[in-house]
Amino acid sequence: MATVEARGVSKSYQGRTVLASLDLDMGEAELICLLGPSGCGKTTLLRIIAGFITPDTGTVHVGGRDVTALPPAARKMGMVFQAYSLFPNMTALDNVRFGPRVAGQAKTEQVKRAGELLDLVGLAQHRDKYPHQMSGGQQQRVALARALAVRPDVLLLDEPLSALDAKVRLQLREEIRRIQRETKVTTVLVTHDQEEALSISDRVAVMNGGKLLQVATPSVIYRQPADAFVARFIGLAGILPGVAEGAAVRMSNGTILPADAAVAHQSGRSVEMFLRPEHVRLQRMNGHVPPGALAADVQEATFLGSLTRVRLRLPELPDHAGLWADMPSEHAADFAPGQRVTAHWHETSPHVIAVEAAQAS
């Protein structure tokens, strides 16, 4: 395990900036996710850390050692690719012992180490199978074992679960977390799946347009997004544009909605109020809309198992970007599409971001 520090890393291709002077620090034994939409630069950053791409500017230090100019083979890193990276002409065991083998270890040691790692990933009984004889999930487990066989300082995972089906993805991500905790290897995982990032990471680094927008724990990223992009990208949020007014936000129709976070903004400033579905409570309309609540129509109800997600239309606020409410499924029968309801929330729930910041990102 080792620390990783990327300092002032930038990269451009034919005049197009892919990474813009980016700084990222990782602690020992930490698992950090690089999360962002396609083309945001997360894989480029990972490949710069791995040594497959040379940055235009900046440095990469691992355990205090400058590795910027070192080739991948000299960096002591293990890498798992998206898919199809196992050597097809080698069995699972031979794939895993490849690193120790080229390092010149004795064969008995190679086989012992490979056997232990296959055991760690639960594939000891598949050691003599070739890649094409294994499922996608098994192949990625072998790839993980192979990456760990060289006892890397840093483990790099480039969307290792993206080619797998949902059930296997869920199992394997839990396994990756377990193995990472057992081996205590500093790990960088690239993903565009926010659920995966939030569930597996110690910290999440949200990227967009070659920039790091926020690096924080999953909880902070979800509850206190640094800007509108992060708020929109992470989880589902209802967005209500308005004007800050003390501990509330005034809507375009004059409705004043409670939002303690609005006090951070100057009164009169244009803001966007972000509301997570789990914070929105619904009541069937009984004639009037209480202060601090919004009249809404149920547009759609989606059954998600224990929860039902209700999409709302706000007839008095035509400029809103949508509002959702989650509720226990046993109560969802009261909120069928077309039902008139009132939506309300606790004043501490909304996150409020100035519109300039929202537009900038």
Shortest separation between residue 153's beta carbon and other proteins, angstroms: 13
Q: Out of 77, 117, 262, 271, point to the residue binding other proteins (CB under 8 A).
A: 77
Burial of 278 from C-beta contacts in 10 A (0-12 / 13-18 / 19+)? middle
Q: ∠ CA 147-91-190 to the nearest 5 degrees?
A: 30
Shortest separation between residue 266's beta carbon and other proteins, angstroms: 51
Shortest separation between residue 57's beta carbon and other proteins, angstroms: 23
Q: Out of 136, 209, 292, 322, point to the residue binding other proteins (CB under 8 A).
A: 136
Shortest separation between residue 334's beta carbon and other proteins, angstroms: 40
Shortest separation between residue 121's beta carbon and other proteins, angstroms: 16
- C-beta atoms surrounding 53 within 10 Å: 17
Would you say 76 or 112 has its CB closer to other proteins?
Answer: 76
Pairing mode, strands 77-80 and 186-191: unpaired
Q: Out of 8, 37, 54, 102, point to the residue binding other proteins (CB under 8 A).
A: 102
Residue 235 CA from chain centroid, whole number: 10
Residue 149 CA from chain centroid, whole number: 27
50 binds other proteins (CB under 8 A): yes
Q: Any idea which residue has 């537009």 for tokens?
A: 359
Options 5-13, 140-148, 190-198, 312-320: segment touching other proteins (CB under 8 A): 140-148
Q: Where are the beta strands (DSSP E) in 131-237?
A: 154-158, 186-191, 203-208, 211-216
CA distance 261 to 264: 6
Q: How far is it between the farthest Cα atoms of the chain?
A: 81
Would you say 51 or 258 has its CB closer to other proteins?
Answer: 51
Locate 178 and state its tokens. Answer: 């377990």
Q: ∠ CA 150-154-158 to the nearest 5 degrees?
A: 100
140 binds other proteins (CB under 8 A): no
Strands in 57-62's sheet, in edge-to-edge order, are 16-26, 4-13, 57-62, 65-66
Could you give phi then psi for residue 86, rounded to 5 degrees? -70, 145
99 binds other proteins (CB under 8 A): yes
Would you say 127 or 265 has its CB closer to other proteins?
Answer: 127
Would you say 154 or 234 has its CB closer to other proteins?
Answer: 154
Region of residue 58 (phi > 0: left; psi between -120 and 50: alpha; otherwise: beta): left
Shortest separation between residue 161's beta carbon and other proteins, angstroms: 16
Which one-letter DSSP state was computed for residue 170?
H
Query: How many residues interact with other proteins (rule CB under 8 A)?
Result: 32
Would you say 76 or 340 has its CB closer to other proteins?
Answer: 76
CA distance 106 to 146: 17
Question: Following CA atoms 333, 339, 342, 346 in sequence, which dihedral angle do they give, to the nearest 10 degrees?
Answer: 30
Shortest separation between residue 162's beta carbon and other proteins, angstroms: 14
Q: Report 151-170 residues binding other proteins (CB under 8 A).
A: none
Q: Out of 70, 124, 150, 236, point to the residue binding other proteins (CB under 8 A).
A: 150
Q: What is the contact mask toward other proteins in residues 55 to 74, using x (rule: CB under 8 A)? A: ----------------xxx-
Would you say 55 or 152 has its CB closer to other proteins?
Answer: 152
List contacts with other proteins (CB under 8 A): 50, 52, 71-73, 77-79, 81-91, 98-99, 102-103, 130, 132, 135-136, 143, 146-147, 149-150
